[in-house]
Amino acid sequence: MKLVEIINCQKQLNVYEALLKDSTIRMSCINGLTMDDVSATNMKISDANLSDLEINGAQMGGAYIHSIGMPPEGHPHYDPNAKQRPLKFEDCNLEGSTIDDCDLSGVAISDCNLTGMTINGILVEDLLAAYKG
């Protein structure tokens, strides 16, 4: 496999039918990047601004999404006045997923199958039944 290094330059790349396995992109701007019909298993993204990211038609089984939000205090881009814009999950299968240690204030859940869903160990179905009762 041939190693190609692109350092400190501005390029627009059109890449087709390429094997870029185990490649690394660091300290780069890829705004407006489009990836279509790609395999990205074991892909890792860290310390990135993914505002307005859209993922459509993806299989994300086994994905581990963590430490998402505004930069924390002590981070070079920390802004105490910055507000996280809301995320939107639509038409997703989150069956068997876990959400731990997250701020869900103001979250709205509508038209979803909540069978077996628990909050702090309490079945949501039971909570809703008690609320309606």
Mean of all residue pLDDT scores within the chain: 92
Q: What is the mean pLDDT of residues 12-37?
A: 93
Q: What is the mean pLDDT of residues 114-133?
A: 92
End-to-end CA distance of the chain: 66
pLDDT score, position 21: 93
Per-residue model confidence as pLDDT tens digits over 78-113: 999 999 899 999 999 999 999 999 999 999 999 999
Residue 133 has pLDDT above 80, yes or no: no
As a whole number of angstroms, the distance between CA 47 and CA 97 comes to: 24
Q: How far is CA 80 from CA 49, 50, 86, in A?
A: 17, 19, 17
As a whole number of angstroms, the distance between CA 87 and CA 109 comes to: 12
Q: What is the mean pLDDT of residues 9-24?
A: 92
As a whole number of angstroms, the distance between CA 127 and CA 120 comes to: 11
Q: For the chain, what percent of residues have pLDDT higher than 70?
A: 100
Calculate Rg over the CA atoms of the chain. 20
Q: Are 114 and 125 in contact (CB under 8 A)?
A: yes
- H or E stretch covering 126: helix 124-132
- What are the backbone angles phi and psi of residue 14, rounded to the nearest 5°? -115, 110
